[in-house]
Amino acid sequence: MKARVAVLISGAGTNMAALLYAAKAADCPYELVLVASNNPDAPGLALAAAEGIATWAQSHKGMSRAAFDALVDERLRAAGADYVALAGYMRILSDDFVAGWTDRMLNIHPSLLPLYKGLDTHQRAIDAGDRFGGCSVHVVTPALDDGPVLAQTPVAIVPGDTAETLAERVRFAEHQLYPAALAAFVTRERAPDWLLGRVRALAMALPEADEVTSHGMPCFGIVKGKKFAYFTHDHHGDGKTALLVKISGADEQAQLIELDEARYYRPAYFGDGWIGIRLDLGDTDWDAIGDWLRKSWLAIAPKKLAGLMAAAEDFQVATRVIASGAKQSRAVHAHSGLPRGVAARK
């Protein structure tokens, strides 16, 4: 199943066109489901429509940023988009809009980030005497052009270059870079190295956790103690990328497999006390994986260590409750007009 991508444009949409034509390849892992614009006259809309891609456009003029972004968000979700690609979309996005697409929205920027965020990137590179300009694909975050960089292509600055001549060559690089970076991004949740990195971060955050290799697999345990998780990829040729964690026994194992046989399975050679959880289905709930790792860790942790962890978690809960109470108290005083430290009376 291909990832469903919506593209936002404001003008000619040449990078959108690069994504569109790359998506025609049979092995491309994404498809375009919508091209949307804040400019009803954007030439890219006609191109997308001619190629059979759904389009939508409305001017942002006369609308607040939040209201317009909410309207765009509604259209993206109605189209069933899994990801959003910004391609010459000349709007600063609201924090709420960005939050709604966290880790699912990319942008292409005409510089070698972190250099030259914002506008006039080519002239700034020339004025600085740089040897290279270029382009970057990055994850969109609330700060302008500040998200993690996924891929870059440097483009040589030659004697006599102007901003216009450099921009023309950078556009060639953009049209090569963006489709490849988007394809890699939408398939990352099935990529073993990326999945192992996520598991490792969660497992190693647990107290006294360590990592070794056991039976050819990355294995996580407590230092000088028992093991609580294994990461497996195509183990014994089973074609699965999965996390193996401890469970209570055969009954729990059978219940989980019955609940979701596509996700849970009995791992070969591990017996009834373990469950395999597929990570390569493209829809992994990483909060749930964190919970599974914690539960498995608790199953093998010494009582003293488990008690210390429980105490630390109780302290964190108490701290959040106190902070929430203080925040509510400030809100009450602000609403009542009373100064802080003065109780509001009914």
| Sheet with 83-86: strands ordered across | 55-57, 30-37, 3-9, 83-86, 105-109, 132-139, 149-156
Q: Please, where are the H alpha helices in 187-302?
A: 192-204, 250-259, 286-300
Domains of the chain, first to last: 3-186 (3.40.50.170), 192-301 (3.90.1150.30), 304-346 (no CATH)
Quick one: pLDDT at residue 331? 47
Percent of the chain with pLDDT over 70: 89
How many Cα atoms are found within 13 Å in the side-chain-facing hemisphere of 248? 5
Separation CA 315–CA 292 (nearest Å): 22
Quick one: pLDDT at residue 307? 75
Q: pLDDT tens digits, residue range 287-346?
A: 999 999 999 999 999 888 877 776 666 556 556 666 665 555 554 444 444 333 333 333
Round the average pLDDT of the chain to a whole number and report it.
91
Q: 206: closest CA among 310, 299, 289, 309? A: 309
324: which 2 tokens? 């929430």
CA distances from 283 to 128, 231, 277, 279, 286 (A): 45, 17, 12, 8, 9
Rg of the chain in Å (alpha carbons): 25
Separation CA 215–CA 193 (nearest Å): 18
H-helix or E-strand spanning residue 96: helix 95-100
Quick one: pLDDT at residue 321? 60
Q: How confident is the model at residue 236 (pLDDT cuts 50, 70, 90)?
A: confident
Separation CA 216–CA 235 (nearest Å): 9
What is the arithmetic mean of pLDDT over 155-182? 98
Catalytic residues: 109
CA 21 to chain centre: 24
Quick one: pLDDT at residue 68? 98
